[in-house]
Amino acid sequence: MTGRGLFLSFEGIDGSGKSTQARTLADTLRAQGREVVHTREPGGSPGAEEIRRLVLEGDPDRWSARTEILLFTAARRDHLERTILPALDAGKVVICDRFADSTRMYQGLRANGLREMVDTLHDLMIGCEPDRTILIDMDPATGLARAKGRQGSEERFEDFGEDLQRRMRAGFLHLARANPQRFRVIDGAQDTGAVAADVRAALSDILP
């Protein structure tokens, strides 16, 4: 499904440090001479970056969870067609900062029945998973304080508060236990160098 390249994703709650780790891994692999596409969701293609602005800025109740499922999936479809699949077809390593697991958690856990809706739409419109997903696990209070400290304009989900972050963390850990071949869980409370070393170790079988 994912061509000749390698598709890696990073997941975690807000402020988990996953974006730093995704960037560090991209730099490390490039220094080894590998061709890497470092990308993110929502976004990663011009159209999907426009959708990013729609979903991440504004009031927390700007969109319903159902509408968000459609917007995030639309962004993902564009990102997949224009960025991810061409890179994988060209044999590159794609490092994606969030992918479908984020929709499973952030939208799927917001009300009963939404998780099934996310999965159904994913099967219809996306139909692929990363070869490996690195989950950076982080205490929700620490993560939220770190995310809030950034003072950006993309605070719609951070505005949902610590309770949402707590449910996301539990949900991500549950997802990882249910998909042990794809997921590796790493303790994000360590210093960034130790987390980066754990990330490399978690990929040693597929990126020797």
Contacting range for ligand TMP; rule: CB under 6 A; set: 23-31, 96-104, 176-184, 191-199: 96-104
Question: 13 vs 203, which CB is nearer to ligand TMP?
Answer: 13
Residue 172 in the binding site for ligand TMP (CB under 6 A)? no
Please name the residue ranges forming H helices in 32-107. 46-56, 65-79, 85-89, 100-106
**3-class DSSP assignment, residue 36:** strand
Write b or e for each residue in 168-204: b if 16 or more Cβ atoms lie within 10 A of its Cβ, otherwise e: bbebbeebbeeeeeebbbbebeeeeeebbebbeebbe
Tally Cβ neighbours within 10 Å of residue 7.
Answer: 24
- Tell whether residue 98 is a contact of ligand TMP (CB under 6 A): yes
- C-beta of 86 vs 160, nearer to ligand TMP: 160
User: For residues 146 and 184, which CB has a smaller minimum distance to ligand TMP in the complex?
Assistant: 146
Q: Is 83 in the site for ligand TMP (CB under 6 A)?
A: no
Which amino acid belongs to residue 194? A
Within 50-79, the residues that bind ligand TMP by CB under 6 A are 56, 72
106 binds ligand TMP (CB under 6 A): yes
String marking each residue 5-34 x if it binds ligand TMP according to CB under 6 A? ---------x--------------------
**d(C-alpha 179, C-alpha 166), whole Å:** 20
Q: Which of residues 115-144 bind ligand TMP (CB under 6 A)?
A: none
Q: Measure the CA–CA gap between 128 and 101, rounded to whole angstroms.
A: 11
Is residue 41 at the binding interface for ligand TMP, with CB under 6 A as the rule?
yes
State the minimum distance, in angstroms, from the CB of residue 157 to ligand TMP: 3
CB of 77 to ligand TMP, least distance (A): 12
Q: How many CB atoms lie within 10 A of CB 9?
A: 26
Residue 42 Cα to chain centre, angstroms? 9
**CB atoms closer than 10 angstroms to residue 66:** 15
Minimum distance, C-beta of residue 198 to ligand TMP, in the bound complex (Å): 19
Contact residues for ligand TMP (CB under 6 A)? 14, 41-42, 56, 72, 98, 102-103, 106-107, 157
